[in-house]
Amino acid sequence: MSTITDAVTWFEVGTDRPEETGRFYADLFGWTFSEQGTPEASYRVVEPGPDGSIQGAIRATGGAGPNYAVFYVQVADVADTCRRAEAAGGKVLVPLKATDNGLTFAHLLDPAGNHIGVFAPPPAGN
């Protein structure tokens, strides 16, 4: 993952119909996917696209919550970004979470209610 910060570097499409959604994007844009989740929690990462395009994935929601599409901004410190977002009038929608490999992320709402994500990649060597 890139060391760029404060740039949009990832997107995620959450859906209760991951097979159909994947076929849609494959047919529309020619995207291909590799499964990186589990049978219970599909996470299909889009294979690298054209130079300059950001990476992303289709996440199976299993019907838990609404379908969504969100972009992620890579930041140096997710907890600090959450604090600064709240100070600027935003809200933390999904509090800071960490994956097994050390990647951290959170979901925010801007003051107008727009949903965005922020993340920090795992430390080098993980």
How would residue 126 be classed by pLDDT, with cut points 50, 70 and 90? low
Residue of higher predicted confidence among 98 and 111: 98
- Which tens digit of pLDDT belongs to each residue from 29-74? 888 999 998 888 899 999 876 677 888 999 999 888 888 899 999 9
Asked whether this chain's domains 10-69 and 75-126 adopt the same fold, the reply is yes
Supply 82's token pair: 């959450």
Q: Is beta strand 55-60 parallel, antiparallel or unpaired with respect to 7-15?
A: parallel
With H, G, I as helix, E, B as strand and everything else as coil, classify residue 111: coil
Ranges of each domain in the chain? 10-69, 75-126
Kindly report, residue by residue over 65-100, the tens digit of the pLDDT: 888 899 999 999 999 999 999 999 999 999 999 999
**Per CATH, which fold does 75-126 belong to?**
2,3-Dihydroxybiphenyl 1,2-Dioxygenase; domain 1 (3.10.180)
10-69 fold: 2,3-Dihydroxybiphenyl 1,2-Dioxygenase; domain 1 (3.10.180)
